[in-house]
Structure 1
Amino acid sequence: MTSNRLKTTRRRALGLVALAVLPLCSGCGIYSFNGTNIDPAVKTISIQTFQNTAPNAPAYLAQRFTEDIKDYFQRNTTLKLVPRDGDLQFEGTIVAYDFAPAQIQQTGGLPAAGKNRLTIQVQLRFTNTKNNKQDFEQTFQSQKDFASTQDIATVNNDLASVREITRNIISDMFNKSVANW
């Protein structure tokens, strides 16, 4: 066998070994294909209902946000959701729901909103009972622009747009807490 053929054969064999070993590592807590980095000792998660202190937020937002974050973690981890005292604990508050002009333009010589922006902020307290070095408190924020013809009532009734904003926040919370990004 020539030297190049031998090298090619060795590379293929190493590649096959890597393919066989990789799935074994995905469940061991070191790395998984969904990007999480969860200690194998962590088995449960508790997510308390997020409170809503934002004066302009619609009444449904706190419950919808809480259910969406639970769904997200259940879809993307193997952690068992428990009512309280989970190995990982999430609690927080929706602190801002601001609808304001985002782009000013001149209309008939007067300044007017060209676009409006909805900004949502959520304050999170994350506790990892297995490793308190990973505990944190942080405010997460996302926003979306809307046409100037849409008022706050129209935006509040556009559930898909509001959920798009909250999904971005949930994704950031997930990445910070269990993906260590």
Structure 2
Amino acid sequence: MKKGLVFFMGVFSLMLISQSCSITLNGSSIPPGLKTINIEFFENNAPLVVSNLSQDFTEALKARIRSQTRLSIVRGEANATMSGNIVNYTITPVSVEATGSNTPPIASGSRLSITVNVKYVNDVDKKLNFEQQFTKYSDFKGDISSQEQNLIVLINRQLTEDIFNKAFANW
């Protein structure tokens, strides 16, 4: 009985401390005055263009911020703005396989890489501002056409996690 009471008091104390220090479970650290954010459309300026990449990336970033913060996403004037563009989309071989003495080797594994340039302007706390490139990739085997959309979803998830952490978790 005594152990249960000690445990309850410990949990209660932790709850009080977390309320006063604004600790959150997702690791985000958002200044109290930051209420709104404008996520601008990320244009695809990569040499190799995939038609839905801009829309998919922009929506993935908005979804991450919606689900992990209390911020309202608005158009136009906001306490913070996130903008940028997709600057690279490449498919490169990562492993090769010999096919015979008279034929050149072929790629047995490939890598899809996406690079995004992000500018974050925080009007509430200017020392959190940054402009940085983020790159993520995923390796795959076989033809890209059957796997491309799933790979884009995976890479967008990784990219938005890194961008979120840079902007809101100070990592």
Determine whether 1:113 maps to 2:107: yes
Question: Which structure's CA Rg is the greater one?
Answer: 1
Q: CA deviation at 1:22?
A: 3.2
Determine whether 1:122 maps to 2:116: yes
Q: CA deviation at 1:107?
A: 1.9
Distance in 2 of aligned mates of 1:154 and 1:66:
23
User: Quick one: structure 1 residues 21 and 58, their matched pair in 2 at CA, closer, same or farther if it must change by over 3 Å?
Assistant: same
Q: CA deviation at 1:13?
A: 5.7
Q: How many matched pairs?
A: 169
Distance in 1 of aligned mates of 2:93 and 2:153:
20
Q: CA deviation at 1:102?
A: 1.2
CA contact (8 A) 2:112 2:151 kept: no
Unaligned runs of 5+ in 2: none
Q: CA deviation at 1:45?
A: 1.2
Which of 135, 143, 156 lines up with 1:150 in the alignment?
143
Matched letter for residue 73 of structure 1: I
Matched letter for residue 103 of structure 1: S
Cα deviation, 1:22-48, whole Å, max 9, x if unaligned, reads: 334545563101110111111111100
Matched letter for residue 150 of structure 1: D
Q: Which runs of 4+ in 1 moved over 4 A?
A: 11-15, 24-29
User: Quick one: structure 1 residues 104 and 28, their matched pair in 2 at CA, closer, same or farther if it must change by over 3 Å?
Assistant: farther
Partner of 1:17: 9
User: Quick one: structure 1 residues 28 and 103, their matched pair in 2 at CA, closer, same or farther if it must change by over 3 Å?
Assistant: farther
Please give the TM-score of this superposition, normalised by the length of structure 1. Answer: 0.84
Q: CA deviation at 1:90?
A: 0.4
Partner of 1:172: 162
- Percent sequence identity is 32
Cα deviation, 1:150-170, whole Å, max 9, x if unaligned, reads: 14x444xx3222110111000
Distance in 2 of aligned mates of 1:85 and 1:22:
37
CA contact (8 A) 1:28 1:40 kept: no
Q: CA deviation at 1:104?
A: 2.1
Partner of 1:137: 131
Matched letter for residue 110 of structure 2: N
Distance in 1 of aligned mates of 2:154 and 2:16:
35
Partner of 2:32: 40
Q: CA deviation at 1:15?
A: 4.5
Please give the TM-score of this superposition, normalised by the length of structure 2. Answer: 0.88
Name the SS of the counterpart of 2:151 in structure 1.
Answer: helix
